[in-house]
């Protein structure tokens, strides 16, 4: 590739990546599965990739990403929303304890743009509240609907 073009691409990548940032990573237990909720910004159309990994005993295991580890591939599934990625790891045991990371990266360009960590210990793991994603989304919608009249009253929204 033309070097000037690569630099231009790199720069565009760096600029637009500003709109994509991991904002939170939380872990909870749902049935026997570990559920990781990774929330991120996505205000650009750059095809950012997401990677979930586990660091245990100073070794990094990729659970979901470009090259997931074979042993985890069959145990995970990902729910993809525009600003929320939910990863399930089935059959969670104390052997899956460690530091979990969710990170955003541009394909083929190493350093990570943004990441968040959550430390997972079996005894400290909370049960997931609500009945999965739908219930959560519904409560946000409800909150939004409830706050609309308030916002209107405060003249924030003029309908």
Ligand X SMILES: *[C@@H]1O[C@H](CO)[C@@H](O)[C@H](O)[C@H]1NC(C)=O
The torsion angles phi and psi of 84, rounded to 5 degrees, stand at: -145, 125
Nearer to ligand X, 80 or 94 (CB): 80
Q: Is 53 in the site for ligand X (CB under 6 A)?
A: no
| H or E element at residue 74 | none
Nearer to ligand X, 26 or 117 (CB): 117
Is 53 exposed, middle or buried, given 0-12, 13-18 or 19+ CB atoms closer than 10 A?
buried
Contact with ligand X (CB under 6 A) among 45, 93, 94, 158: 45
User: Strand pairing partners for 105?
Assistant: 49
Note whether 114 and 103 are within 8 A (CB).
yes
Question: In whole angstroms, what separates CA 115 from the centre of its chain?
Answer: 9
Nearer to ligand X, 83 or 139 (CB): 83
Which stretch in 4-12, 110-118, 133-141, 151-159 sits in contact with ligand X by CB under 6 A?
A: 110-118
Q: Is 26 in the site for ligand X (CB under 6 A)?
A: no
Q: Is 136 in the site for ligand X (CB under 6 A)?
A: no
Contact with ligand X (CB under 6 A) among 13, 61, 62, 115: 115
Q: Is 41 in the site for ligand X (CB under 6 A)?
A: no
Sites for ligand X among residues 55-94 (CB under 6 A): 77, 80, 88, 90
Strands annotated E in 41-123: 49-56, 59-64, 76-80, 84-89, 98-106, 109-120
Whose CA is closest to 14, among 108, 113, 115, 82? 113
Instruction: State in angstroms the smallest separation of the CB of 59 from ligand X.
Output: 12
Site residues (vs ligand X, CB under 6 A): 33, 42, 45, 47-48, 50, 77, 80, 88, 90, 101, 104, 115-117
């Amino acid at each position: 590739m033309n070097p000037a073009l690569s630099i231009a691409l790199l720069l565009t990548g760096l600029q637009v990546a500003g709109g994509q940032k991991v904002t939170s990573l939380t872990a909870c237990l749902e049935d026997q599965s570990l559920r990781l909720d990774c929330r991120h910004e996505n205000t650009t159309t750059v095809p950012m990739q997401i990677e979930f990994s586990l660091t245990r005993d100073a070794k990094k295991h990729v659970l979901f990403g470009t090259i997931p580890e074979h042993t985890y591939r069959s145990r995970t599934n990902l729910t993809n929303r525009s600003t929320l990625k939910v990863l399930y790891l089935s059959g969670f045991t104390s052997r899956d304890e460690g530091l979990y990371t969710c990170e955003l990266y541009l394909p083929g360009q190493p350093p990570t743009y943004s990441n968040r960590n959550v430390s997972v210990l079996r005894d400290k793991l909370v049960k997931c509240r609500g009945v999965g994603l739908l219930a959560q989304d519904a409560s946000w919608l409800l909150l939004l609907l409830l706050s609309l009249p308030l916002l209107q009253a405060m003249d924030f929204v003029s309908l």
